[in-house]
């Protein structure tokens, strides 16, 4: 595995793990609303009122177990399993397994098909294999500061930082509320629970402006990047249980890299979640990896551009 491959894989892990690993989560700027709950036995609540109640209830739950699957064209197919808390900033642990596509092939070269992603309020950490650690001075954990990712990714990096640091599973609910295009599909059973199914279409570029604190300049740059990526709209489906909590969501969109699909399940709201930074002695900072001038922690010859 040469230094160019290591660099490309390191960058890919940063973007893929950070964005798709918590694809079910996002900004938690809850709206205030006094509408009735969309509880069992209520047959006349509008979709907007029901979703506002679900958005508030899900936000207040503070934590949940998460299980998801995501695919993007031929780029990757992956699953994520774990638990997250959003009280006082995003924290938690997910096991991310790459099951297909280019990312799976890159991970095989790194000696594994899965990794642990550990999220803290200011950064997240990716645990890699022994084979990969040989290229990082024997250290298994890669640390990605959200500030560093924001600088690296430009407008999209700033958006990613904003969304990760303020994450809750109710982002999909907020997406439909912001879209103005939502309808009740019907009532269904999900994981043994009675749910109400809602669906709608979201304009991705407009959504960024409604769910983040980015400047007008950053939003303009982000819209350009989204357009270049071929992403204009997403179709979102949500399943809300009788306790007004999100239990399932799907997202579908066309991108320049192919069709994107994500399906996520949420359970055990209120579960205790703990996450701590890995030992410094076994951690390599991504920023230091870039500053070293090589992608192999100073042992290779490939220049990081």
Q: Domains in the chain and their CATH numbers?
A: 49-287 (2.50.20.20)
CA atoms within 13 A on the CB side of 110: 31
**Is 104 a residue whose pLDDT tops 70?**
yes
Q: What's the CA angle centered on 37, arms 35 and 38, to 5 degrees?
A: 120
Res 82: pLDDT: 94
Q: How far apart are CA 243 and CA 53, in angstroms?
A: 10
Q: Of 23-37, 86-100, 102-116, 276-290, which range is least confident?
A: 23-37
State mean pLDDT over 293-298. 38
pLDDT (tens digit per residue) in 70-82: 998 998 899 999 9
Higher-confidence position of 238 and 128: 238
CB 13 within 8 A of CB 104: no
Q: What mean pLDDT comes out for the span 100-121?
A: 86
By C-alpha distance, which of 252, 247, 295 is closest to 135?
Answer: 295
Q: Residue 137: CB partners within 8 Å, gap ≥ 6?
A: 284, 297, 298, 299
**The pLDDT of residue 133 is above 50:** yes
Residue 27 has pLDDT above 60, yes or no: no
Mean pLDDT for the stretch of residues 239-254? 93
Q: DSSP secondary-structure letter at 33? A: -
Report, as an integer, the average pLDDT of 145-171: 75
Reported as a pLDDT band with limits 50, 70 and 90, residue 120 is: very high
What does the pLDDT average to over 204-209?
A: 73
Question: Within 10 A of 3 (CB to CB), how many other CB atoms are there?
Answer: 18
Of residues 296 and 219, more confidence is placed in 219
Look-up of token digits 């990794």: 115
Average pLDDT, stretch 272-294?
Answer: 85
């Amino acid at each position: 595995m040469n230094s160019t491959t290591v660099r490309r894989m390191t960058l890919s892990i940063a973007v893929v793990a950070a964005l798709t690993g918590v694809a079910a989560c996002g900004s938690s700027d809850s709206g205030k609303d006094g509408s009735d709950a969309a509880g069992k036995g209520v047959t006349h609540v509008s979709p907007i009122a029901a979703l506002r109640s679900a958005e508030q209830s899900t936000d207040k739950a503070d934590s949940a177990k998460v299980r998801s699957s995501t695919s993007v064209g031929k780029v990757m197919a992956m699953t994520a399993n774990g638990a997250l808390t959003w009280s006082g900033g995003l924290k938690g642990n997910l096991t991310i397994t790459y099951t297909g596509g280019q990312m799976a092939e890159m991970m095989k070269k790194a000696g594994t098909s899965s990794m642990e992603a550990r999220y803290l309020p200011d950064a997240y950490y990716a645990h890699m294999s022994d084979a990969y650690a040989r290229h990082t001075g024997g250290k298994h954990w890669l640390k990605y500061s959200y500030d560093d990712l924001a600088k690296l990714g430009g407008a999209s990096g700033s958006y990613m930082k904003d969304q990760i640091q303020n994450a809750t599973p109710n982002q999909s609910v907020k997406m439909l509320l912001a879209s103005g295009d939502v309808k009740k599909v019907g009532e269904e059973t999900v994981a043994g629970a009675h749910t109400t199914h809602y669906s709608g279409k979201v304009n991705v570029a407009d959504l960024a402006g409604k769910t983040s604190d980015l400047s007008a300049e950053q939003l303009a740059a982000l819209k350009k990047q989204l357009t270049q990526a071929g992403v204009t709209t997403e179709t979102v489906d949500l399943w809300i249980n009788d306790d007004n909590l999100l239990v399932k969501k799907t997202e579908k969109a066309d991108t320049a890299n192919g069709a994107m699909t994500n399906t996520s399940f949420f359970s055990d709201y209120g579960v205790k979640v703990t996450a701590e930074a890995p030992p410094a002695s076994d951690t390599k900072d991504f920023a230091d990896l870039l500053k070293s001038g090589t992608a192999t922690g100073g042992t290779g010859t490939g220049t990081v551009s």
